């Protein structure tokens, strides 16, 4: 149980590091789990690499006596971390959109933008997928890696009928640059 709390605490520290302003796209790890894949030790991230602009959420589950339940729990926790990261991104989008909309005819109330952002967040998380799992042989803990590609986010935007056209256009035009600004990636 103590090891599990330590792991959760380390994941929380990784989230705090992720949300801070940084000029790096990698999160430094304090887990140092020998033999673990890099993604376990690096933690939650937003990263830009040759595969695109990606949101990564990491979740874990201790041994439970039921392997299927343990995998599902780790997967669900990874998706929850992904939701938290994506929600932070969408908050920045919302703030930037509100500032850009100004007093124009297309300006939406803050409440309307928030509703649309929340709806889009839920819709996009359906496109998240588990792309990796790893089991720590020493502790029996299973780690899961959930991924959401910003390309998937853009595809979802095209089908979001309840979204304001001006907000949809803003996300299509500014989404990548906001992502890059948040990760410190070179544009």
- 87-91, 93-97, 104-108, 140-144: the lowest-pLDDT one: 104-108
| Whole-prediction pTM | 0.71
Q: Decide if 29 contacts 14 (C-beta within 8 A).
A: yes
Residue 181 has pLDDT above 50, yes or no: yes
**Mean pLDDT confidence for 30-47:** 86
Domains (range + CATH), the chain:
2-183 (3.10.129)
pLDDT band for position 24 (cuts 50, 70, 90): very low
Q: In what order do the strands lie in the sheet with 142-149?
A: 45-49, 52-61, 142-149, 129-135
Average pLDDT value for the chain: 77
Q: Decide if 118 contacts 87 (C-beta within 8 A).
A: no
**% of the chain beyond a pLDDT of 90:** 26
Report strand pairing: 129-135 vs 52-61: unpaired
- For residue 13, the model assigns a pLDDT of 44
**% of the chain beyond a pLDDT of 70:** 66
């Amino acid at each position: 149980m103590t090891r599990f709390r330590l792991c959760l605490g380390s994941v929380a520290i990784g989230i705090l590091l992720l949300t801070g302003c940084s000029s790096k796209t990698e999160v430094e790890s304090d887990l140092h789990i020998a033999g673990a894949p890099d993604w376990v030790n690096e933690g939650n991230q937003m990263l830009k690499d040759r595969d695109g602009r990606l949101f990564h959420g990491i979740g874990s589950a201790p041994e439970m006596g039921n392997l299927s339940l343990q995998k599902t729990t780790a997967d669900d926790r990874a998706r929850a971390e992904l939701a938290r990261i994506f929600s932070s991104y969408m908050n920045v989008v919302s703030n930037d959109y509100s500032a850009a909309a100004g007093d124009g005819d297309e300006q939406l109330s803050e409440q309307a933008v928030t509703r649309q952002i929340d709806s889009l967040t839920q819709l996009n998380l359906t496109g998240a997928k588990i792309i990796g799992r790893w089991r720590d042989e020493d502790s029996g803990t299973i780690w899961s890696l959930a991924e959401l590609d910003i390309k998937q986010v853009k595809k979802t935007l095209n089908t979001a009928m309840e979204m304001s056209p001006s907000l949809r256009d803003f996300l299509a035009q500014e989404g990548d640059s906001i992502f890059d600004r948040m990760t410190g990636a070179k544009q």
